[in-house]
Amino acid sequence: MTTIIDFEAPFEGRQLKGDHYVGRDSNRILYLHGAGNSTRRGHHLLRGALQRRGLGSVCFDAVGHGDTGGTLAESSVASRTRQAQAVLAAVAGRALPEPLVVIGSSMGAYNAIRLSERHRVDALVLIVPGVYTPSAYEVPFGPAFSAIIRRERSWADSDAWDILSRFEGRLLVIHAEHDAVIPLEISERLVAAATRAESRQLHIVRGAEHNRLWSLLEETPEHFDAAVDMVAAMVNGGRQ
């Protein structure tokens, strides 16, 4: 039997809506969704598979997304980091003991990297990871933000490389072979930057696209299970 518990976390006058997939063995995974139309519900495949392996996770809809609602203009990349910290505070005592495992998808991968500076994190799983120039971090989502990140190679001066150069936990970067949003160079540089990591790995999902990775893997159960096992090994310190 699987247990999913809904929760709310207060943040700047609103309530962030999230859920906890309760794990039998561990409940220290914080899962951060991406931008655009992404919500926590779009990550059920991986979270459900991890839960069946005893590994629980907490995920929430960021401001402007899903059940939380609001508008994207009320948020920013920096705000999303603060929102994640509000969730950590709200569920403390029943989930997310440190050291954390943080799984971040797309924009959420950058928030995951940022959180590794502020909390004890012993594993990062970055899925189709986006990274950003520091000049975009505090800019509210909207035309000004879009103008910054649409500059050619705007991500090249990201502080993600420097942050990961100090990370000493386990790192797994999962890249979609046909990702039209995230260049392979970003994923490769993230792994290369983590020179002090306990372990670091880049896994490229053949045939996958930015918004079609786990659903593609699900079509071939052995490939799906192998990818989930890889993530589970990151959570469990190398043990599947």
Q: Does any domain span residue 124?
A: yes
DSSP state of 198: S
Q: Does any domain span residue 120?
A: yes
Residues of the chain with pLDDT under 50: none
pLDDT score of 60: 98
pLDDT score of 2: 84
pLDDT score of 52: 97
pLDDT score of 198: 97
pLDDT score of 176: 98
Q: What is the DSSP string of 112-156?
A: HHHHHHHS-EEEEEEES-----GGGTTSPTTHHHHHHHTSTTGGG
Report how far apart, in Å, the C-alpha atoms of 210 and of each of 48, 214, 215 are: 20, 10, 11
- Domain of 58 in residue numbering reads as 4-235
Are 131 and 175 within 8 A, CB to CB? no
Q: Does any domain span residue 240?
A: no
> Residue 209 burial (CB < 10 Å; 0-12/13-18/19+)?
middle
**Tell me, what CATH number does 32's domain have?**
3.40.50.1820
Q: Tokens 């948020």 identify what position?
A: 75
**60 beta partners:** 18
**41-96, pLDDT tens digit by residue?**
999 999 999 999 999 999 999 999 999 999 999 999 999 999 999 999 999 988 99
Total domains present in the chain? 1
Spatial CA neighbour of 60 closest among 15, 98, 113 = 15
Q: Does any domain span residue 201?
A: yes
Q: What are the strands of the beta sheet with 4-11, ordered from one edge?
A: 4-11, 14-21, 55-60, 26-32, 100-105, 121-127, 170-176, 199-205
User: What is the radius of gyration, based on Cα positions, of the chain?
Assistant: 16
CA-based end-to-end distance of the chain: 21
Q: Does any domain span residue 76?
A: yes
